[in-house]
Chains A and B, each alone.
With several copies, the nearest count.
Chain A
Amino acid sequence: MPRKPTTRTRANSSNGANSQAKLPKGLKASDLVDYYTRLVQARSLDERIWMLNRLGKVPIAASSQGHEAAQLGSLLAAEKDGDCFLFPYYRDLALKVAAGLSPVQVMMSFMGKAGDPYSHGRQFPLQGADLPHKIIQISNVVAAGLTQSVGYALACRMAGDETVVLVYFGDGATSQGETHEAMNFASIHKLPVIFICENNRYAISTPQSAQMVVEEVASRAASYGFPGFTVDGMDLIQCYEATREAITHARAQGPVLLEMMVKRFMSHTTDDDDRRYRPEGEVERARERDPVITFARTLIEEGMLTQKMVDEIAAETLRSTDEATDVADVSSPPDASNLHDSVYSP
């Protein structure tokens, strides 16, 4: 492991098209089409959820719109690797959806129904655990998952596993002391943890400049003697590649910090109104690099998709979203008696 890590910023394609001319290492065309489909499905659900909030059917939601390329690119790398465990955070809607939940399960969770796969309606949507898809997110307390993910990695090593742990968090979470503690411990024990910072340059209303003096979160990896990279989080393939490399490094040599530069398209949550604090036009400009659009463009350019297929995918995912909404809407909430279950484990 390099003792003096350098911060490497990967090429930033300013036009929004992915820079890869050929298939990225380890992927088939069908993988990309598959992930495009998951991306569109996630986006469709995300938009619908926001609307359902306005209709009073979903009490709260944090949107992943604008973060999806980072989430799905890293997820794709984890899936291809086959032995990764994920500690996402509350903004990782697309990640959690794409990891394998059905649209119905997603909607159940957002409406607080008994069918919620994460917590049986006890927690905020998609929070708790989805063990079948190797995901744990105990809370939405910012940065609380970081030390836990490091402990998980430690336990995997103790148990003889080769598992690599991916833990996700925002730029705001980097201010928490526990982020420092987690990275420090992971570095001392050279644990296979990839710290993925989805940097959208906001913690609710607080801009990055009020959170830190440094330009790049990735530069802080130097404090722990492990590598840190800043990548274009709007570019799914770049995120895939960076994560794939990071997984290899992590398994062999220890932690990596990946900073993925993303844009938050929506307000912080459905409870927030970002017009209070966001410069006009910022979101519009950011949407020019909407991963749903740019990824489709790339796949069409590469001949993996046609416009017709794109349209079909859009129609199909929308149908799933509609159906899921209807099914979840009429499904049962958890029974009141459940209140007292599982305070303790047997």
Chain B
Amino acid sequence: MAVKSVIEAVREAIREEMERDSKVFVIGEDVGIRGGVFLATQGLAEEFGNNRVIDAPLAEASIMGIALGAAFRGMRPIPEVQFSDFVWPSVNQLIGEAARTCYGTNGAVPVPMVIRMPYGGGIRGGLFHSQNVETHFFHTPGLKVVAPCTPYDAKGLLKSAIRDNNPVVFLEHKKTYRLVRGEVPDEEYTLPIGKADVKRQGSNLTVVSYGLTLHYCLEAAEELAAEGVDVEVLDLRTLSPLDTATILESVKKTGRLAVVHEDNITGGVGAEVAALAAGQAFEYLDAPIARICGPDVPTMPFAQTLEDAYMPTSDKIAEGLRRLAAY
């Protein structure tokens, strides 16, 4: 096992799958000679040629529509959206078309495609380079949504996503790209889409999160451990389909639930997790469900002070958990 960064894990997954299956190809802005603005596809154009690593014109709707059309013909495209903030021009193809293709053809036309998007804030990206877009895809039946937070998960899940016969929105938190490092097996492996992962066992309360904030939850959990509160940290990893069984099991065990995410609180993924518990684990709940999430302002502003004020940090999370434990 070698220690790798998230971006390295992503790159390896793409490379290995392109090698394994000639139907896999990459399309996006600056993915070729530039290797993508985050270098996720660095070296791939050299290795696989410009026919399999296609530098598209600056037009997201066409990138998505062309990838989708190629999937109809049995290819396995990996369109890259340069920043998730720029996905909007393309969502008619994604939410309107790709998500409903299998259903709208009664299963005749599967859509094996992975839409990769760097997302999230904390990198001084301001209003248009920090966006959390997961909820829109989470709320779209027909899409799968994956949001890993470690190199190990990123690689295993991306490989599974590429082999999946459905449109998978694959969300890579930009701040984790180089910041988060971890062991990645040398040998081939995949991880199942739709399975949450207990990143920390605990008995007093359950925190559900994903992406960058998962790491902050782990830090907060350590803080609380020092105070004698044993926190279970559950990493959703896949948002859709949601692993309801694992969530409910943990909540039933601890009786206390907090949901943490960077995305705006109202109507976010956390609302669904809370609703799930309030509907199906009601008898087990010993306290109100807490949500420690991004406030309802349009994502993270540019100034450091404002970005910090937006972000659910480990301190803010610890404070929320403390209150929940004390209820």
Interface residues of A (CB under 8 A from B): 59-60, 112-114, 116, 118-125, 127-129, 131, 136, 138-144, 146-156, 158-159, 172-173, 175-178, 181-182, 184-185, 188, 203-206, 210-212, 271-272, 276-277, 333-346
Contact = CB atoms under 8 A, between A and B. Distances in A.
Given A336-B305, A345-B112, 11 more contacts: A128-B108, A131-B109, A142-B86, A148-B66, A155-B69, A158-B51, A177-B59, A181-B57, A338-B106, A338-B306, A339-B297
Contacts of A149: 69
Contact of A144 (B65, B67, B72): B65
Contact of A211 (B51, B57, B298): B57
Interface stretch (B120-128, B175-183, B223-231): B120-128
Interface of B: 25, 29-30, 32-35, 37, 51-52, 55-59, 61-62, 64-75, 77, 85-86, 88-89, 92-93, 96-97, 100-112, 124, 126-129, 141-142, 144, 165-166, 295-298, 301-306, 308-310
A155 B30 CA distance: 20
A211 B59 CA distance: 10
A338 B33 CA distance: 41
**Shortest beta-carbon contacts, A-B, top 6:** A151-B69, A147-B65, A121-B303, A155-B73, A148-B69, A345-B110
30 contacts: A112-B303, A121-B303, A123-B127, A124-B127, A124-B128, A127-B126, A138-B100, A138-B101, A139-B127, A142-B86, A143-B58, A144-B65, A147-B68, A150-B62, A154-B70, A159-B75, A176-B59, A178-B61, A184-B59, A185-B59, A188-B57, A206-B30, A210-B55, A277-B34, A333-B304, A333-B306, A337-B309, A342-B102, A344-B142, A344-B165
A343 B103 contact: yes
A333 B307 CA distance: 11
Contacts, number: 256
Contacts of B37: 204, 271-272
A282 B100 CA distance: 39
Contacts of A124: 126-129, 302
A141 B96 contact: yes
B318 to A, nearest CB: 19
B166 to A, nearest CB: 5
A190 to B, nearest CB: 13
A155 B75 contact: yes
Contacts of B103: 122, 342-343
B312 to A, nearest CB: 13
Given A138-B97, A141-B128, A277-B34, A127 B75 contact: no
B5 to A, nearest CB: 17
B96 A139 contact: yes
A151 B68 contact: yes
Contacts of B303: 112-114, 116, 121-122, 333-334
Contacts of A176: 58-59, 89
B65 A342 contact: no
A345 B111 contact: yes
Contacts of A125: 302
Contact of B57 (A151, A210, A340): A210
Contacts of B92: 141, 144, 178
B169 to A, nearest CB: 14
B175 to A, nearest CB: 13
B326 to A, nearest CB: 26
Nearest to A124: B126
Nearest to B61: A178
A56 to B, nearest CB: 11
Contacts of A210: 55, 57
A325 B56 CA distance: 39
B49 to A, nearest CB: 11
Contact of B104 (A138, A206, A211, A336): A138
Contacts of B102: 342-345
A183 to B, nearest CB: 10
